[in-house]
């Protein structure tokens, strides 16, 4: 086997291995940040914004814990705290 043929086989084998390894990696989940003005129990009640958002995202194929992470913070009815919650993300 010539040197060029050997290098061609070696490079193609390395590329195939790299593609195989790349295909096996699980994708990172999407991350959504949610700031709510109310308390946690108020904001997570059915019909509120966050549960409705999560329900609509599920319809589109984004499931919390599988391919979606939700970082939710709540101001407990103190809107002046929203800016601090946002900064400390």
Whole domain around residue 73: which residue ranges? 3-87
How high is the pLDDT of residue 32?
Answer: 92
**Interatomic CA distance for residues 75 and 36, integer angstroms:** 6
| Mean pLDDT (whole number) for 49-61 | 91
In this predicted model, what pLDDT tens digit does every residue of 8-39 receive, in sequence order?
766 677 677 766 665 556 788 999 999 888 88
Share above pLDDT 70 across residues of the chain, in percent, rounded to a whole number: 80
Between 13 and 40, whose confidence is greater? 40
Q: What is the pLDDT of residue 63?
A: 94
pLDDT-based confidence at residue 60 (cuts at 50, 70, 90): very high
The total domain count for the chain is 1
Q: Which residues contact 74 (CB under 8 A, 6 or more apart)?
A: 35, 36, 37, 38, 39, 40, 43, 85
């Amino acid at each position: 086997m010539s040197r060029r043929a050997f290098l061609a086989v070696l490079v193609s084998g390395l590329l195939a291995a790299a593609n195989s390894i790349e295909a096996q990696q699980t994708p990172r989940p999407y991350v959504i940040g949610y700031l709510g003005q109310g308390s946690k129990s108020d904001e997570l009640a059915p019909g509120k914004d966050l549960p409705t958002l999560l329900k609509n995202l599920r319809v589109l194929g984004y499931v919390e814990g599988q391919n979606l992470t939700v970082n939710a913070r709540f101001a407990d009815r103190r809107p002046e705290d929203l800016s601090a919650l946002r900064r400390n993300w």
